[in-house]
Amino acid sequence: MASLRHGCIRQLRRLERGHKAAADDDRDDDRMAAATWLGGSKKMLEKMTEDVKEAAAAIMVDVGQWRKKGAG
């Protein structure tokens, strides 16, 4: 009975190791896909960053004007 239990435990550990290895492979695939996407669209990412900076600057100007109106 004990050998059967030990055999089951060993089999479970093998399955866990196999599952962990498969999960690691999936994570590596996801990282590679993300790196490929970022590398392939670097120009688009730079453009989006500039758009965000411009929008943030416009908001800061609006907030500054609103504060001046409130103080005056």
Tens digits of per-residue pLDDT, 5-51?
Answer: 777 778 888 878 777 777 777 777 777 677 666 665 666 667 777 88
Instruction: Round to whole Å and give the CA distance between 47 and 24.
Output: 33
CA distances from 59 to 12, 32, 48 (A): 57, 36, 17
- The 3-state DSSP class for residue 72 equals coil
DSSP for 4-62, please give it.
Answer: HHHHHHHHHHHHHHHHHHHHHHHHHHHHHHHHHHHHHTHHHHHHHHHHHHHHHHHHHHH
Model confidence at 4: pLDDT above 80: no
Q: Given this model, what pLDDT does residue 72 score?
A: 52
Q: What is the pLDDT of residue 18?
A: 75
**Regarding predicted confidence, which is higher, 42 or 69?**
69
Which pLDDT score is estimated for 41? 65
Give residue for tokens 């994570």: 27
pLDDT at 37: 65
